[in-house]
């Protein structure tokens, strides 16, 4: 990937040498560590990026497009490398971070207030049973608990304790198509995200109704949050009101603004 085509492509580009360096730096940042190790051990050049993505970089629009392609390439690589049997670390209760941090695209006071009475989770898409689920019905399913580390791309991490329904068991109950590519989530705020089916079915992926032994509080995502210790914080939707199974790429709130879609931690 460090071979000749790079120089000629770079020479054709209208981007200044500074912009070209910036582009390579951004593309590098978009590639998660495993992808970096495997593909970029020998360095990454603008020419290499152009070959990888099949994009030209004659102007900044094309450069943007190239970065998007790099990010989707990164998604694919993370998908290939994802080991469904590998567990994220768990921790003793003494290591729980207190108070556990709140984070959202707004302040804590603006967190949505969902009324649990009369609340129904909507389920749709490629499922055998397009149903609605009350919180009582969800609470009556077999529950599990986990103490895991939440990692936010903004540069903090914290250990928390979540309880709820193993998501694979829930997907089986609704008869979700196991061969479908995505599970998408719509939230009570304007948030939305989507995940790959392999992560959806991972043993530690939990549809949480509880935090630290209590009903999931408003700030941490009442009425429910999908907790995945194998994914970064922004992939863990709070205030879920609807989920759907699909083969059409649903994107996400931050993902559509340039965050990497797979978002493995």
Ligand X SMILES: Nc1nc2c(c(=O)[nH]1)N[C@H]1C(S)=C(S)[C@@H](COP(=O)(O)O)O[C@H]1N2
Which residues bind to ligand X, rule: CB under 6 A?
Answer: 101-105, 152, 187, 189, 191, 220, 233-234, 236-239
Q: Interface with Mo ion by CB under 5 A: which range of 32-40, 144-152, 190-198, 257-265? A: 144-152
- Selection from Mo ion, ligand X, none that 104 binds (CB < 5 to 8 A by kind) is ligand X
Q: In the bound complex, what is the minimum distance in angstroms from residue 162's beta carbon to ligand X?
A: 9
Could you give the CA distance from residue 1 to residue 83 in angstroms, rounded to a whole number?
A: 27
Q: In the bound complex, what is the minimum distance in angstroms from residue 158's beta carbon to Mo ion?
A: 11
- Residue 234 lies near Mo ion (rule: CB under 5 A): yes
Q: In the bound complex, what is the minimum distance in angstroms from residue 190's beta carbon to ligand X?
A: 8
Q: In the bound complex, what is the minimum distance in angstroms from residue 129's beta carbon to ligand X?
A: 25
Binding mask 148-187 for Mo ion (x = CB under 5 A): ----x-----------------------------------
Q: In the bound complex, what is the minimum distance in angstroms from residue 8's beta carbon to ligand X?
A: 41
Question: Which is closer to ligand X, CB of 80 or CB of 105?
Answer: 105
Q: Interface with Mo ion by CB under 5 A: which range of 174-182, 192-200, 228-236, 238-246? A: 228-236
Q: Which residue's Cβ has the minimum distance to ligand X?
A: 233
- Residue 237 lies near Mo ion (rule: CB under 5 A): no
Could you give the CA distance from residue 201 to residue 83 in angstroms, rounded to a whole number?
A: 12
Q: Taking the CB of residue 211, how many other CB atoms lie within 10 A of it?
A: 21
Q: Interface with Mo ion by CB under 5 A: which range of 40-48, 138-146, 218-226, 234-242? A: 234-242
Q: Which of 6, 223, 233, 264 binds Mo ion (CB under 5 A)?
A: 233
- Selection from Mo ion, ligand X, none that 189 binds (CB < 5 to 8 A by kind) is ligand X
Phi, psi for 237 (deg, rounded to 5): -70, 135
What is the SS3 assignment for the chain? CCCCHHHHHHHHCCCCHHHHHHHHHHHHHHCCHHHHHHHCCCCCCHHHHHHHHCCCCCCHHHHHHHHHHHHHHHHHHHHHHCCCCCCCCECCHHHCCCCCCCCCCCCHHHCCCCCCCCCCEEEEECECCCCEECHHHHHCCCCEEEEEEEEECCCEEEEEEEEEEEHHHHHHHCCECCCCCEEEEEECCCCEEEEEHHHHCCCCCEEEEEECCEECCHHHCCCCEEECCCECHHHCCCCEEEEEEECCCCCCCCHHHCCCCCCEC
- Residue 96 lies near Mo ion (rule: CB under 5 A): no
- Residue 223 lies near Mo ion (rule: CB under 5 A): no
Could you give the CA distance from residue 88 to residue 146 in angstroms, rounded to a whole number?
A: 10
Question: Which is closer to Mo ion, CB of 81 or CB of 152?
Answer: 152
Binding interface with Mo ion (CB under 5 A): 152, 233-234
């Amino acid at each position: 990937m460090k071979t000749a085509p790079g120089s000629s492509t770079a020479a054709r580009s209208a981007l200044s040498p500074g912009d070209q360096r910036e582009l390579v730096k951004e593309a590098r940042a978009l590639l998660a560590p495993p992808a970096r190790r495997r593909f970029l051990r020998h360095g990454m050049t603008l020419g290499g990026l152009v070959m990888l993505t099949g994009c030209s970089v004659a102007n900044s629009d094309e450069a943007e497009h190239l970065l998007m392609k790099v990010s989707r390439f990164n998604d694919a690589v993370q998908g290939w490398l994802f080991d469904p049997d590998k567990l994220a670390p768990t921790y003793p209760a003494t290591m729980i971070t207190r108070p556990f941090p709140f984070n959202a695209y707004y302040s804590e006071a603006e967190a949505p207030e969902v009324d649990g009475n009369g609340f129904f989770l909507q389920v749709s898409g490629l499922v055998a049973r397009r149903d609605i689920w009350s919180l009582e019905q969800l609470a009556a399913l077999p529950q599990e608990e986990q103490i895991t580390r939440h990692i936010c791309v903004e540069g903090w991490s914290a250990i928390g304790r979540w309880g709820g329904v193993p998501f694979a068991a829930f997907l089986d109950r609704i008869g979700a198509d196991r061969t479908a590519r995505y599970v998408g989530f719509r939230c009570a705020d304007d948030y939305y995200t989507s995940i790959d089916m392999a992560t959806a079915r991972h043993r530690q992926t939990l549809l949480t109704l509880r935090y630290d032994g209590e009903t999931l509080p408003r700030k941490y995502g009442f009425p429910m949050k999908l907790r995945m210790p194998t994914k970064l914080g922004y992939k863990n939707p709070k205030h879920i009101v609807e989920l759907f199974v699909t083969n059409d790429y649903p994107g996400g709130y931050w993902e559509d603004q340039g965050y990497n879609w797979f978002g493995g931690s």
